[in-house]
Amino acid sequence: MRSFIIHMPGDAKRAPNAQKLLQLLPNAEIVDAVIGKDIIAKGQITPQPGNIHAPHYPFPLGAGEVGCFLSHRACWQRIVDLDLDYALITEDDLSLDLDLWNEALDLIANHASVESFFRLPAKRRETPAATIDRGPHAELFLPRVIGLQTVCQVVGKTAARRLLGASERLDRPVDTFLQMHWITQQPIHTILPNGVSEITDQVGGSTIQKKNRSGSKLAREFKRALYRAKVSSQPQRP
């Protein structure tokens, strides 16, 4: 299995962890992160106002979110171009508990294919709709509602093609896009526990965090809750 680590060139705070991941992950290489503000400034992409797909996404897409999405698309394209059955894609704030991680790798080796998209999230927030396999601690399952964040995942070649085809225009963050299995036609499975955590605060904080741009915090939270309720109303089913 190949591994792609998304890392912004010149980011001195994250570079040591990226170098550590090069040693820990199987057949690993760095993939340069896309700088969203540069892409937007050059007119190479125009983010849409949350209206390409239903449900409508209620917040504007920030430059950092554009860069994150395009960085993941670059990795999906690399999987296709290299004709890999599947590959591991991680972000550079990933940290690993190796005992649990190795158990997760066993589940990947036993079940991953060109069709796969396996999430290895840092947070345990998903409820299984169906269990595929279990190890001594880890479980591979189909989550009812797909969780957020993209610190670590395994993506198959056919899955990558589906996601590329469904994301030629951007109107929401990549993790929110991935929740919409009814749009992508891509089932997403999860492995938990998996040994994955994030060290975002230790490496300088989030690269895509946005300040509230308009309206009160209460109004934003109401919109967020309403959006999440709409996503939850379309669960994955076995």
- 215 has pLDDT over 60: no
Q: Which residues contact 37 (CB under 8 A, 6 or more apart)?
A: 63, 64, 67
**35-68 pLDDT per residue, tens:** 999 999 998 998 999 999 999 999 999 999 999 9
Domain-embedded: residue 238:
no
> Residue 200 has what pLDDT?
80
Based on the structure, what is the number of domains in the chain?
1
- 98 has pLDDT over 60: yes
Task: Look over the chain and give the mean of its residue pLDDT values, rounded to a whole number.
Answer: 94
Domain-embedded: residue 208:
yes
**106-127 pLDDT per residue, tens:** 999 999 999 999 999 999 999 9
Domain-embedded: residue 51:
yes
The three-state secondary structure class of 108 is helix
Give CB contacts under 8 A, 24+ apart, made by 163-168. 163/73, 163/76, 163/117, 164/73, 164/76, 164/77, 164/80, 167/69, 167/73
Among left, alpha and beta (phi > 0; psi -120 to 50; other), residue 125 is alpha
> Residue 27 has what pLDDT?
98
Could you tell me if 76 and 164 are in contact, meaning their C-beta atoms sit under 8 angstroms apart? yes
- 204 has pLDDT over 80: no
Domain-embedded: residue 176:
yes
The band of 203, judged by pLDDT with boundaries at 50, 70 and 90, is: confident
**156-181 pLDDT per residue, tens:** 999 999 999 999 999 999 999 999 99
In angstroms, the CA 151 to CA 197 distance is 8
For residues 21-35, give the mean pLDDT.
98
Range of the domain at 208: 2-232
For 11, half-sphere exposure in the C-beta direction (CA atoms, 13 angstrom radius) is: 24
Domain-embedded: residue 166:
yes
Domain-embedded: residue 205:
yes
Q: What is the CATH number of the domain that holds 149?
A: 3.90.550
Could you tell me if 87 and 74 are in contact, meaning their C-beta atoms sit under 8 angstroms apart? no
- 210 has pLDDT over 60: no
- 85 has pLDDT over 90: yes
